[in-house]
Amino acid sequence: MDGVGLSEDGRAQAAALAASFAGRPIAAVISSPLQRAQETAIPIAAQLGLPVTINAGFDEIDFGEWTGRAFSALEGDPAWDAWNRFRSVAACPGGESMLAAGVRALGAMGALRAAYPDGELVVVSHQDVLKALLAHLLGIPLDLFGRIALDPAHRSVVALWDSDVRVEGINLPAGKRLP
């Protein structure tokens, strides 16, 4: 939910992540509108001398009635159980499905590809949104999204062309560099 910032540990992770982009020819740093994503993007952008561009396409899933509730408070709720078993069809009450969020992010990614056809970009988003994108790009059914590990302040690398895509890395720690 909005208004939740990074912890001290999260800020340290964001700084380490920012350092991993030093020397890369990054054309733009794009962030979800949520505070914690922006707080992750700001040190990256500062490292690169770029502004942070906010893009609602990479916003967190709208959790509707579940926003702000603890997982323990949702246990036993049939809609919560369905959400955790069938992400391809389940939606949050009053919110959106993971599929809808993935389609939204995929559209934003396509628009960025058009705006920066040869550019290397950094996109800061949220775990489930990124998992939905990666599942789509890898051809993995969304119900198996849990097979994709994404830790905080790690990177995944995707190369896009007009006619193809290649996932070059998933869940890379800040210190791991790619050519």
Whether 38 is in a domain gets the answer yes
Q: What is the DSSP string of the chain?
A: -TT----HHHHHHHHHHHHTTTT--EEEEEE-SSHHHHHHHHHHHHHHT-PEEE-GGGPPP--GGGTT--HHHHTT-HHHHHHHH-TTT-B-TTS-BHHHHHHHHHHHHHHHHHHSTT-EEEEE--HHHHHHHHHHHHT--GGGGGGS---TT-EEEEEE-SS-EEEEEEEE-TT----
Residue 16's domain is classified under what CATH number? 3.40.50.1240
Whether 142 is in a domain gets the answer yes
Whether 3 is in a domain gets the answer no
Whether 137 is in a domain gets the answer yes
Whether 129 is in a domain gets the answer yes
Whether 177 is in a domain gets the answer no
Q: Is the pLDDT of residue 177 over 80?
A: no
pLDDT tens per residue, range 155-166? 999 999 888 999
pLDDT tens per residue, range 68-77? 899 999 999 9
pLDDT tens per residue, range 56-69? 999 999 999 999 89
Count up the domains in the chain and report the number: 1
Q: Is the pLDDT of residue 5 over 90?
A: no
Whether 12 is in a domain gets the answer yes
User: What is the span of the domain harbouring residue 100?
Assistant: 8-172
Whether 2 is in a domain gets the answer no
